[in-house]
Chain A
Amino acid sequence: MANKFIVSLSPHVHGGDSVKRNMYGVIIALIPALLVSLLVFGVGAAIVTLTSVAACVFFEWAITKYILRRERSTVTDGSAAITGLLLAFNLPSNLPVWIVIIGALVAIGVGKMTFGGLGCNPFNPALVGRVFLLISFPVQMTSWPRAGQWAEYLDAETGATPLALMKQAIHGDADALSQLPSAWDMFIGNAPGCLGEISALALLLGLAYMLWKRIITWHIPVSILATVFVCAGLMHWANPVYASPVQHLLSGGLMLGAIFMATDYVTSPMTHKGMIIYGVAIGFLTVVIRAFGSYPEGMSFAILIMNAFTPLINTYCKPKRFGEVTKK
């Protein structure tokens, strides 16, 4: 018989999942938050987001082609665009374009490509970029436009974020907490802050979408949010200068971090048990930094610290092996 057949080992079928499907799924999940930021911060949000995404994609393409000299480019897999979006979401909407570009270069160049590109980076690239900017440009990175100035960009009027008010309260300003926006305003996104972090509602919609499409599992976001709620609740109960747990959950980058940053595949643990340990530790560190650190927000640092522990967690947290379960 002249037929030539393909001979390969089983399995001979594939479920149809792909890197692209997951990456574009995350991008779709980010759309509600993007829409809210455009609505609240207008032109500024658009400029910062576009710059960040374009710069991240460009740097990934350029580094792959001219420095790593790889034949196949990974630009179309969507991961660089996600880094760009997440970096932008972690920036104030009045940040000058050149600072955004530096952030993108650090995120992709240092955070991702130095380690070999997709799948190899130990730290979340967007957070590497963001923390680099926060340390290098502390003034620009901590002046937050008030909500609702959609025509202003660099000249937007700034105001104190809920987290800054919470910090003032801890430092003795008795009526700082009373100036906090209502829980509803913080839930829908009517408060100053980084452009993508303000609306818990939009971010939770994204979470629901990713859970529905099975892009991520509940373990990391739920363990972070639950830990923050419990820790912040205990502190509030012990001493009311600390804001209420609901205010903690709805403020700052907590939702964005718990749902989109800490769940980054590459830098989070591989087992469900490990994911819960990782999530609880991030939640705990965030509350500790918010309450006792010098920065008002601790989410980025907490995630980066736990990224460093991920290999250790992977070494010690093994899945429940078949047969370990005892007889019923």
Chain B
Amino acid sequence: MKTFRIGGVHPAENKLSAAAAIEVLGLPRQAVFPLSQHIGAPAVAIVKRGDKVKVGTKIAEAGGFVSAAVFSSVSGTVSKIDSVTDASGYRKPAVFIDVEDDEWEDGIDRSPELVSACSLSSEEIIAKIKNAGVVGMGGACFPTHVKLSPPPGVRAECVIINGVECEPYLTADHRLMLEKPDQILVGVELLMRAAKVNRAYIGIEANKADAIRLLTEKAASHPGIEVVPLQMKYPQGGEKQLIDAIIGRQVPAPPAIPIHVGAVVQNVGTAYAVYEAVQKNKPLLERVVTVTGRSVKHPSNFLTRIGTPVSQLIEAAGGLPDNAGKVISGGPMMGKALATLDAPVCKGSSGVLIMDDEEARRAEPQPCIRCAKCVSVCPMGLEPYLLATCSARGDWERVEHEMILSCIECGSCQFTCPSHRPMLDYIRLGKGKVGAIVRARNAKK
């Protein structure tokens, strides 16, 4: 079975909610839409206080090429445009909407029927995707239309669909593949047409044997689409690792991007969103969110309107356990710890993980014993111990030379470290500093 070639770890899977079918979560009383739910320029609000909106009304326009529009997922009245503390912990501008009824914009096809025929051209598909505010649903939230528009001179050769879900606990993509396989496959065909390629691979880790079986069977009637079972290893869902695992090519160090080796990578959730946007005229309004944790009463997968507060998801899964110590938006390896449960579900929120107080605490760091385990597990072939020490010392020149900007922040080093050293904290600090230095240098040129 295929996998990526450098490093990797095996965290305990803990897929507690794998058997829980997707449930539709009720409407929130108030929905909050941060204007920056994606990588790139924030969107620009086009509604003001007191405006009436419907489900599917565009409330913010893309703020540049690398940006994405935002749509209301509820109907009601804009109560204010203010800031909200999102999963990153920063306060960001957002549109607040008080929910009234559930009135949808005309032209959105809400029927469950599968629409597979499509006669649109590549440009038309990309325009529809852009117009629906679709971004990468795997967590990085890169605007999808940008990924489908390669820079001049490079050409895509294949589309790679990420169904890996290598983060422990999360099952949103797994459930989506089991419950919406036909829609996903049509979405993949649309992505292939948009990227002008005739091959697509859907990478799925071996722990989701049911999804591999189902999609392989269904893909037989979709020429050009192949399901690739992958050996379980974290961080296989990392874009670069997935490309290496599936087509055996490694994306060179930044500024190179996946398209330089001919690959366009999209998440299965994105493929589904693309299907809905193109075939159903439905902008990105909702997504599947896993709510899980060892002490959570009913680990679940909810189809959630974007903008719903995290607290409502937790209530629906049986309430906040008494011993909750940390609430994470995303998975345990790369997710962000929330400071407040009022944070809204965004386009990239794949899960809400509640950790017990005990497991949420970090162990006291001990001296580095130079065991070299961090070096062995780094999937980017870096030396995390060195990057962390030099960053702590402020030696930015050295860490730049040691390729700190290649770090994908997967956390494998810190996960493995027998001395519990907070390596990634320091590496993030160094990455930020070096990134700023490099940008300043490029600006001077």
Please list the residues of chain A having a beta carbon within 8 angstroms of any beta carbon in chain B: 1, 3, 5-15, 17-19, 21-22, 77, 79, 117-120, 217, 265-272, 275, 318-325, 327-328
21 contacts between A and B (CB under 8 A): A1-B340, A5-B324, A6-B337, A9-B337, A10-B409, A11-B414, A12-B337, A13-B333, A15-B415, A18-B419, A19-B418, A21-B418, A217-B376, A319-B6, A319-B378, A320-B381, A321-B380, A321-B381, A321-B406, A322-B406, A324-B250
A14-B415, A14-B420, A319-B383 are known contacts. Are A7 and B89 too (CB-CB below 8 A)? yes
Among B250, B332, B371, B375, contact of A319 (Cβ-Cβ < 8 Å): B375
A1-B341, A12-B360, A327-B261 are known contacts. Are A265 and B256 too (CB-CB below 8 A)? no
Chain B residues closer than 8 Å to A3, beta-carbon distance: 320, 324, 341
**CB within 8 Å of A: which of B187-237?**
none
Among A9, A19, A22, A79, contact of B428 (Cβ-Cβ < 8 Å): A9
Q: Smallest CB–CB gap between A266 and chain B, Å?
A: 5
Chain B residues closer than 8 Å to A324, beta-carbon distance: 250, 252, 381
Chain B residues closer than 8 Å to A120, beta-carbon distance: 367
When C-beta atoms are compared, the residue in chain A nearest to B410 turns out to be: A11
Q: How far is the CA of A120 from the CA of B366 in the complex (A)?
A: 12
B58 contacts the other chain (Cβ, under 8 Å)?
Answer: no
B425 contacts the other chain (Cβ, under 8 Å)?
Answer: yes
Q: How far is the CA of A268 from the CA of B372 in the complex (A)?
A: 9
Q: Is the CB of B250 within 8 A of A325?
A: yes
Q: Smallest CB–CB gap between A113 and chain B, Å?
A: 13
Q: How far is the CA of A7 from the CA of B334 in the complex (A)?
A: 13
Q: Is the CB of A13 within 8 A of B332?
A: yes
Among A1, A6, A10, A77, contact of B361 (Cβ-Cβ < 8 Å): A6
B253 contacts the other chain (Cβ, under 8 Å)?
Answer: yes
Chain B residues closer than 8 Å to A269, beta-carbon distance: 372
Among B247, B337, B380, contact of A8 (Cβ-Cβ < 8 Å): B337
When C-beta atoms are compared, the residue in chain B nearest to A1 turns out to be: B341
B339 contacts the other chain (Cβ, under 8 Å)?
Answer: yes
Among B256, B334, B411, contact of A323 (Cβ-Cβ < 8 Å): B256
Chain A residues closer than 8 Å to B320, beta-carbon distance: 3
**CB within 8 Å of A: which of B370-416?**
370-373, 375-376, 378-383, 385-386, 403, 406, 409, 411, 414-416
Please list the residues of chain B having a beta carbon within 8 angstroms of any beta carbon in chain A: 5-6, 9, 11-12, 89, 168, 240, 244, 247-253, 256, 261, 311, 320, 324-328, 330, 332-342, 353, 355, 357, 359-363, 366-373, 375-376, 378-383, 385-386, 403, 406, 409, 411, 414-420, 424-425, 428
**Given A6-B337, A14-B362; 14 other pairs, CB 8 A cutoff:** A1-B342, A5-B339, A6-B357, A7-B339, A8-B337, A10-B336, A12-B328, A17-B416, A118-B369, A266-B370, A321-B253, A322-B6, A325-B5, A325-B250
Among B338, B370, B375, contact of A7 (Cβ-Cβ < 8 Å): B338
Chain A residues closer than 8 Å to B311, beta-carbon distance: 1
Chain B residues closer than 8 Å to A323, beta-carbon distance: 240, 250-253, 256, 406
Q: Is the CB of B338 within 8 A of A5?
A: yes
Among A22, A319, A328, contact of B369 (Cβ-Cβ < 8 Å): A22
Q: Smallest CB–CB gap between A41 and chain B, Å?
A: 31
Q: How far is the CA of A6 from the CA of B324 in the complex (A)?
A: 9
Q: How far is the CA of A12 from the CA of B425 in the complex (A)?
A: 12
Q: How far is the CA of A117 from the CA of B251 in the complex (A)?
A: 41
A322-B250, A324-B250 are known contacts. Are A11 and B415 too (CB-CB below 8 A)? yes
A1-B311, A266-B369 are known contacts. Are A15 and B9 too (CB-CB below 8 A)? yes
Q: Smallest CB–CB gap between A73 and chain B, Å?
A: 12
When C-beta atoms are compared, the residue in chain A nearest to B328 turns out to be: A12
Q: Is the CB of A11 within 8 A of B333?
A: yes
Chain A residues closer than 8 Å to B376, beta-carbon distance: 217, 272
